[in-house]
Amino acid sequence: MPIETPDLVLAPILPELILSGVAMLILLVDAARPSRGGRAMALLAAAGILAAAAVVIRQWQVPAADELTALGGMVAVDRFALFFRLVILACALLSVLLGAHYLERTGEGRGEYHALLLFAAAGMTLLAAAADLIVVFLALEVLSLSLYVLAGFSWRRLASQEASLKYFLLGAFSSAFFLYGIALAYGAAGTTSLAGIADALSGPGTSMALALAAGGLLLVGFSFKVAAVPFHMWTPDVYQGAPSPVTGFMAAGTKVAGFAALIRVTTVALGPVSWELLPAVVGVSALTMVVGSILAIAQDDVKRVLAYSSIAHAGFVLVGVAAANQEGVSGSMFYLVAYAAMILGAFAVVIAVSRTGEGRTSLRSYRGLARRNPVLGALLALFLLSLAGIPPTAGFIAKVLVFEAAVRAGLSGLVVVAVLASVVAAFFYIRLIVLAYMEDPEETERVPAEPAPGLALGVTAAVTLLLGILPGLLLDPLERAGVLRW
Amino acid sequence: MSSFPWLTVTVFLPLAGAVVLLALTPLPRRRPEAGGYGADDPWRWVAFLVSSATFVVSLGILTEFRAEPGFQLVEEAGWVGPLNIRYVLGLDGISLFMVLLTTFLMPLAILASWRVERQVPYFMASLLALETAMLGAFVALDLLLFFVFFEGLLFPMYLVIGIWGSGRRVYAAVKFFLFTMAGSALLLVAILFLAFRSETALGGMTFDLRQLVGMDLPATTARWLFLAFFVAFAVKVPLFPLHTWLPDAHTEAPTAGSVILAGVLLKLGAYGLIRFNLTLFPDASEDFRGLVTTLAVIGIVYGAVVALIQTDIKRLVAYSSVSHLGFVVLGIFAGTLQGMSGGVIQMVNHGLSTGALFLIVGMLYDRTHTRDLARLGGLARRTPVLAGVFLVVALSSLGLPGLNGFVGELLILLGTFDASRLPAVIAATGVVLSAIYLLWAYQRSMHGDLPAELESTPDLSGREYAYMVPILVAIVAIGVFPKPLLDRIEPAADRHVRLIAVEPSSADVVRAAGGD
């Protein structure tokens, strides 16, 4: 049987090639000149990310080709993919910045941090563009393997090792689910291409049972990655144990990439059975919002609070996914951008307050923060208010968009659960603000302002505020990017 | 109509001032050694000037305003394109006076905060941000834009109570925040649902109040939506039994916070009931009128009775608000023009009288460092002017003819009596009770034996005159000559009443009742 080889056009995966190439370069240089360590590698990584971003922007400007996919249907070349790539690259850039600062402080400035981060970013961007379940799996593994190692990057710290191991074990578990889902999908449709599966499922003669089982297993796999209840168990421990910049990157990047693939898979491949899968998505969404919000109240470590908050937010994004309409898709996309900005910003505050490594992450350390550094206190309040969905912040507009999409899809009940969960969530965000603004500090020493976290804070705060006041800035491009065709 | 964006300027001028204040924080303090701020520090003056300028601009609105029923000075712009959420501002006779009340009280509240010593720039910035949010909520005609302002005022108010309050300030602040946020959670869902229905009913999704009015809704849907809106506003008003956050918040807030909270914030709840509940769901309002009236009457009597037994004078004033706001809601839902006009006037009056009462409580506390009525007494001998001011304000609050409170209460009772007798009769006992608790509070603090430690209590200072005199002038002016207000309020009130009217009302009846 002759094997048809597809035309080898590498342009669609050029961003990933650049990221991986630079990552390998960093590994080589680091091996040759280990003493160079920190800063130079960070600059190299940043340059790589910027180059990849330039390519993405260029591809955004050039009108899309006739083909919807490239490389034999493996990779999508639509604006949906480009949009998410850009978001992920922005997250990666901020994480490089924060990581360089953090590692310099802990004396762990080894080049492989940046290499691993670039590999993870490549996996994420590929995930956002994957048009075939095999590529989805491949990308998931690339990003996961890199993150397993990054979570344990501070290997002298036991919690970091524990985080790495826990993430690895549960991640491997979820990969197995996902792989099984792919197998069943292939069994049902005879193909692993997302568009092909959609065709097969809408045609006659497909085993519905098999298709639903496949859909369910794929959802389980994704739920692990985006930390949706009941597959969220790993999140608090891993988020707490991993070095803060890694946690920020995981919380922002992984969720954005995971949801990009989740949206594409559910909308395209599972579109024909979306009605049957709806109860599962709605159930997971409601459960995630409620459990995430309630459990956050009981935490006394800021990283655990943010971990549960990030769980709850997965539930809110799922509201948009459950709506399964055009508004839901673009609403979720807006939500993810807003979420990435505010969670990265929140972790930048954590890093600034910690000063060195993982010190001062207990909630007590936040007492009187506003007095020890007014700007930092105000930024923390901004991010927390945005996470709570209080106007005029990006978090509020994001919630309005996904809620409206869900109301439109007839899911008013889910929206009611969502707003009630937001009230519960507001309670613990407010509690943190109470600590920062209304209690007397334990130490009177001023929290110093530092350039790297400062820059990251400035960018994320600007996004959080700007998207809350002028959401049109993002909504206009979303009108073109939020369309999935196949 | 002029092309000058009156409303945008009025709404955002305070916020701009807040930004300027934050930018000016590095200025040197006068008394850095004490860790506090001095009385003449520039931030106080900046805040005062900005809020005064806002008042002046809002007077421009008054001159542009025509006594007509519709929305005026409308400004429109796109905001969130895909959902057709628009930036629409406009005002009618009802919102006009809410705006003026806000811009009038804010400089006075700031003037009353000269003694605040901690983190003055942030305090003033919070107050100014709060002013923008309140003004925005009063003039927003797009439901979601309204919600943005409505929720946006939570955080600055929360800071004002939680940082600069007294005693159990953190508890009070968190309670305030969570009560209000929980109340408005379902409001957001209701707004989104309404907009979604507008797509099929009106042929295009919109959040614009002017287009949503008169939209056909199934009766059951309208009732649910009414309830969602109602809970949000009833918490703010606050209507019994959702009032429990109020005594704590009022009592612990700093003077300026209490003034703004009582003077303006509570009005936002009543305003919301008029602007949204009555307008959007007239039939459901009719269905729920019995329930709302009952709650209002319970609130009137309950608030008054609880105020009677308070020993903390600030708490007493707080409970009197529950009682007085009950009157406002009673009037709004009476379904008569007298009731509606009276309700709106009473909103203004309550803002002035209760605002003034809180200012007086603040002055008392500054002098005596106690709010406990048992530890006050005989002050009239040392501070005759303060006592006189207290008496006038108390009389205004209890509705003495010739002062502002009378006009509103009379109209409300008349309007309610026309519609249904029993509520009016029970509510009238609230007037009697308010006379008891207010005069008793006056008597216990100003007459009787003067405690030894209060021997050297000073009378009003120049600054205190500066913020009490304007209020007193307004109190007397409205009491003697309410026509200018009524003329502007009535067309808008009439338009709202027609939506739920019991019987066709005639403006002449009211004019007669209004006493001009």
In a domain, B96, yes or no: no
Tell me the shortest Cα–Cα distance from B155 to chain A, in angstroms. Answer: 9
Three-state secondary-structure class, residue B365: helix
Taking CB atoms and an 8 Å limit, are B158 and A327 in contact across chains?
A: no
Mean pLDDT, residues A235-250 taken together: 92
Q: Is B480 on the interface with A (CB under 8 A)?
A: no
pLDDT digits (tens, 9 = 90+) for A374-409: 888 889 999 999 999 888 899 999 999 999 999 988
Question: What pLDDT does residue B507 have?
Answer: 44
Distance CA(A225)–CA(A209), nearest Å, equals: 25
In a domain, B359, yes or no: yes
Q: Which of B81, B163, B189 sits opposite A412 (nearest CB)?
A: B189
**Chain B residues inside the 8 Å CB shell of A422:** 185
Q: Is residue B283 classed exposed, middle or buried when 0-12, 13-18 and 19+ CB atoms within 10 A define those classes? A: middle
Which residues, in sequence order, are bridge partners of residue A138?
Answer: none
pLDDT digits (tens, 9 = 90+) for A186-220: 988 888 999 889 988 888 877 888 889 999 999 99
In a domain, B487, yes or no: yes
Q: Is B189 on the interface with A (CB under 8 A)?
A: yes
Distance CA(B212)–CA(B202), nearest Å, equals: 8
Q: Which of B177, B185, B192 sits opposite A430 (nearest CB)?
A: B177
**Chain B residues inside the 8 Å CB shell of A397:** 80
> ∠ CA(B463), CA(B99), CA(B145), 5° rounding?
130
Q: Classify each residue of A386-420 as buried b or exposed e, where b means 16 or more C-beta atoms within 10 Å of its C-beta.
A: bbbbbbbbbbbbbbbbbbbbbbbbebbebbbbbbb
pLDDT digits (tens, 9 = 90+) for B298-328: 999 999 999 989 888 889 999 998 999 998 9
Distance CA(A56)–CA(A18), nearest Å, equals: 11
* Nearest residue of A to residue B152, measured between CA atoms: A391
Output A272-276 pairs: Cβ under 8 A, ≥24 positions apart.
A272/A198, A272/A201, A272/A202, A273/A201, A273/A208, A273/A211, A273/A212, A273/A215, A274/A324, A276/A208, A276/A212, A276/A215
Of B515, B96, B501, B102, residue with least CA distance to B339: B501
In a domain, B21, yes or no: no
Taking CB atoms and an 8 Å limit, are B148 and A430 in contact across chains?
A: no
The ipTM (two decimal places) reads 0.87
Taking CB atoms and an 8 Å limit, are B159 and A401 in contact across chains?
A: no
> Quick one: residue B383, left, alpha or beta (phi over 0 = left, psi -120 to 50 = alpha)?
beta
Question: What pLDDT does residue B512 have?
Answer: 43
Do A376 and A352 touch, CB atoms closer than 8 A?
yes
Percent helix / strand / coil, chain A, rounded to 5: 80, 0, 20
Taking CB atoms and an 8 Å limit, are A391 and B80 in contact across chains?
A: no
Do B511 and B414 touch, CB atoms closer than 8 A?
no
- Helix (H) or strand (E) run with residue A281 in it: helix A274-297
Q: Which of A327, A367, A380, A404 to mutate to test the interface with B (most CBs of B within 10 A)?
A: A404
pLDDT digits (tens, 9 = 90+) for A259-306: 999 999 998 888 888 888 899 999 999 999 999 999 988 888 999 999
Question: What pLDDT does residue A7 have?
Answer: 66
Q: Which of A390, A431, A472 sits opposite B151 (nearest CB)?
A: A390
Taking CB atoms and an 8 Å limit, are B80 and A471 in contact across chains?
A: yes
Kindly tell me if the per-residue pLDDT of A343 is higher than 90: yes
In a domain, B311, yes or no: yes
Taking CB atoms and an 8 Å limit, are B192 and A404 in contact across chains?
A: yes
In a domain, B512, yes or no: yes
Mean pLDDT, residues A309-320 taken together: 94
The pTM for the full model equals 0.90
Residue B458: domain span:
281-516
Number of independent structural domains in chain B: 1
Q: Is B287 on the interface with A (CB under 8 A)?
A: no
Distance CA(A62)–CA(B84), nearest Å, equals: 29
Runs of H (alpha helix) within A62-157: 79-106, 112-129, 133-151
Taking CB atoms and an 8 Å limit, are A401 and B83 in contact across chains?
A: yes
* Nearest residue of A to residue B81, measured between CA atoms: A472
Question: What pLDDT does residue A36 have?
Answer: 58
Helix axes A374-388, A412-438, angle to 10 degrees: 170
Q: Which of A166-170, A337-341, B18-22 has the lowest mean pLDDT?
A: B18-22
In a domain, B506, yes or no: yes
In a domain, B457, yes or no: yes
